[in-house]
Amino acid sequence: MALLARNPADNTGYQSTGSAKFIPQLWSGKMVVKFYTKTVFGEISNTDYEGEIKDYGDSVVINTIPSITIRDYTFGDPTGGPGTVPGNLQYEKPTSANVLLEINRAKYFAFECNDIEKFQSKPILMDTFSDDAGEQLTIAIDSDVLSNAYLEAGHTGDLAGPNANINLGTNLAPLVITKSNVIDFLVETVGTLMDELDFPDSDRWIILPSAITSKIKTSELKDASMTGDSQSTLRNGKVGMIDRLHIYRSNQIHRENGEYQVMAGHKSALTFAMQMAKTETLKNPFDFGDLVRGLNVYGYKVVKPAALIHCQIAI
């Protein structure tokens, strides 16, 4: 029987030294499944202005709705009230503050794909790699949003709310969440605060780490269907809903000194705009094959801090 000997000068496999035939290497048409971190920024922010950006460095000026003053009116009063001319109502000129959304962040990917690899591998590698790059881009952007947006929250600390009676935790005394108090935290702390601040019932959200969402599942709401969401956890990390509050799970919540910097709020608090500005395929000048690269530009802004809540939580 002929032996197959390794040819040290050849990295492709084995050479036949006798009558045995060369055993070719088989490239599978399948690839190992990859797990991706779930992203939430697309669920917690509004993207109303995304169509207005074009490239890195662009900015969008957003107008805010002014508050109109309501005054008392007295029948038979010849004036419109104090400080008015007799026979006239008191008019005001509404002023609308502007918020600037700057598209001042960018991330890119770049990789090479050799012609030999494309020939030997049945999957279309460039498409597969590009899909992976797209997933990695969203994860990187999600981490950026979750690591910074909470710093602009309008409600934080142990004296939050219009009556300064709601404790959201501090860096010296974070809230300690267990399976016995997690529902109270969601309903009595976060939900009550949102009610007192007149948040609309729709589009309320909170992002929690896996260590806390697991406590929800082992609490008095053991059946996940009791959260009001019969759908399984999808790519956006949605776990369910409790008391009008959409609950999302993320492993990218920012931590400081072991404490989770948890955000909750209304979708109007945060605006986000993103665009894949450029995707190019070039011939590799130094090898056979192609170079693929893509540039993603984006920006986000807390346009309504009063609709954003920051909790400091320990497990």
DSSP state letters, 128-154: HHHHHHHHHHHHHHHHHHHHHGGGG-S
- 281 alpha carbon, distance to own chain's centre: 29
Can you give the pTM of this predicted structure?
A: 0.77
Please give the C-alpha separations between residue 95 and each of 61, 64, 121, in angstroms, as whole numbers: 15, 9, 62
Dihedral of CA 47/51/52/54: which sign? positive
Query: What are the helix (H) ranges across the chain?
Result: 41-44, 115-120, 125-148, 182-184, 192-196, 210-217
Long-range CB contacts (within 8 A, 24+) of 242-245:
242/183, 242/186, 242/187, 242/216, 243/186, 243/187, 243/191, 244/191, 244/201, 244/202, 244/204, 245/186, 245/190, 245/191, 245/194, 245/204, 245/205, 245/206
For position 200, what pLDDT does the model report?
95
For position 54, what pLDDT does the model report?
67
Per domain, the residue ranges of the chain are 154-273+300-314
| Nearest in space to 155 (alpha carbons), one of 314, 312, 313, 306 | 306
Residue 210 φ/ψ region, left for φ over 0, alpha for ψ in the -120 to 50 degree band, beta for the rest = alpha
pLDDT by position in tens, the chain (length 315): 444 444 444 544 445 455 556 667 666 666 677 777 888 988 899 888 777 776 667 888 888 888 888 887 766 555 555 655 555 678 888 887 888 888 889 999 998 888 766 666 655 777 888 888 888 888 999 999 999 999 999 999 999 999 999 999 999 999 999 999 999 999 999 999 999 999 999 999 999 999 999 998 888 765 544 455 544 333 457 888 998 999 999 999 999 888 999 999 999 999 988 887 678 888 999 888 888 888 888 899 999 999 999 999 998
